[in-house]
């Protein structure tokens, strides 16, 4: 898949106000600061498209980006930012969960996991919630440039092994870095294949 054009369309906090067009869309979720917005910029080759920050909690809304005038990438707020009030965290979680449960156009959800760390409770709980709600997802390990290539292999393999203690099988797994762009082709090819499928939206 070649990304020729990528443009910001709309931000909002309410899934009902998301674009009404029936197009495939691919959403990125994960903890605050895991690298969702950076990954969108890496995939589109446009560093300024989605706003990023070294301080967690940058993305607070559902952001739609139209790619090649054909399909959407969606940048979601991150969950679990500890510095935010409990009420604030609940509000963000509500936006995320409402989007995930109700957005018929969402063809695939990519769950981003910082590849440097062991499985964290908050991510495992989020996966459990996805499973309970029958939401299929892919795992995308991020920030792998921060590890040596052998350490990255070991860390991500260990993570997957631990997941298999909880899950019967693994979802598709991608290993990425927004800095050295690894994983870009694999993700875009995966999206390209999914875009060939008919999109059925039953209300
Ligand atoms: P929120 O919007 O706050 O939920 O965060 P986010 O998940 O969108 O993270 P964002 O893309 O804003 O990145 C957070 C920080 O991590 C920024 O300082 C990025 O430069 C850095 N970062 C993101 N991806 C990578 C990566 O692949 N490698 C490295 N080294 N840094 C990264
Ligand atoms: Mg963000």
Mean pLDDT of the chain: 95
- Closest ligand (CA of 39): 1
In this predicted structure, the answer to whether residue 56 has a pLDDT above a threshold of 90 is: no
- With 60 as the cut, is the pLDDT of residue 101 above it? yes
**Substitution candidate for ligand 1 out of 31, 112, 178, 182 with most atoms within 8 A of CB:** 178
pLDDT number for residue 183: 98
Is it the case that residue 83 has pLDDT exceeding 80?
no
Can you tell me the distance from the alpha carbon of 83 to that of 54, in angstroms, rounded to the nearest whole number?
Answer: 14
pLDDT at residue 85 in the model: 84
Residue 81 has pLDDT above 90, yes or no: no
Tens-place pLDDT, residues 122-181? 999 999 999 999 999 999 999 999 999 999 999 999 999 999 999 999 999 999 999 999
Which listed ligand is nearest to 115 at the C-alpha?
A: 1
Closest atom, ligand 1, to C-alpha of 30: 7
What percent of the chain has pLDDT above 90? Answer: 89
- Whole-model pTM: value is 0.96
pLDDT digits (tens, 9 = 90+) for 88-99: 889 999 999 999
Average of pLDDT values for 64-83?
93
Q: How confident is the model at residue 203, as a pLDDT?
A: 56
- Which amino acid residue places its CA nearest to atom 15 of ligand 1? 54
CA distance 44 to 50: 10
Neighbour tally for 194: CB within 10 Å: 14
pLDDT of 79 strictly over 90 = yes
Element (H, E) at 97: helix 86-102
Burial class for 177, CB neighbours closer than 10 Å (0-12, 13-18, 19+): buried
- Half-sphere exposure (Cβ direction) of 174: Cα atoms closer than 13 Å: 26
Tell me which residue of 144, 192, 169 sits closest to 26, measured CA to CA: 192
Kindly give the number of the ligand 1 atom that is closest to the alpha carbon of 52.
12
- Average pLDDT score over residue span 36-56: 95
Angle (nearest 5°) at CA 117 between 112 and 122: 60
Q: What percent of the chain has pLDDT over 70?
A: 99
| Contact residues for 23 (Cβ-Cβ < 8 A; gap 6+) | 66, 70, 71, 72, 105, 199
What is the rounded distance in angstroms from the CA atom of residue 60 to the CA atom of residue 95?
A: 9
């Amino acid at each position: 898949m070649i990304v020729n054009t990528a443009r910001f369309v709309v931000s909002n906090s309410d899934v009902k106000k998301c674009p009404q067009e029936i197009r495939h869309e691919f959403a990125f979720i994960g903890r605050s600061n895991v690298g969702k917005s950076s990954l969108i910029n890496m995939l589109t080759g446009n560093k300024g498209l989605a706003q990023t920050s070294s301080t967690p909690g940058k993305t607070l809304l559902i952001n739609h980006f139209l790619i090649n005038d054909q399909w959407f990438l969606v940048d979601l707020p991150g969950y679990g930012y500890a510095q935010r009030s409990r009420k604030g965290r609940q509000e963000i979680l509500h936006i995320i969960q409402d989007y995930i449960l109700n957005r018929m156009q969402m063809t695939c959800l990519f769950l981003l996991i910082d590849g440097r760390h062991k499985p964290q409770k908050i991510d495992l709980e989020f996966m459990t919630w996805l499973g309970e709600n029958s939401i299929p997802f892919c795992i995308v390990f991020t920030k792998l440039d921060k590890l040596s290539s052998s350490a990255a292999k070991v860390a991500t393999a260990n993570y997957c092994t631990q997941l298999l203690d909880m899950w019967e099988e693994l979802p598709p797994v991608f290993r990425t870095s927004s800095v050295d762009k690894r994983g870009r082709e694999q993700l875009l090819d995966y999206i390209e294949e999914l875009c060939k499928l008919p999109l059925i939206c039953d209300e």
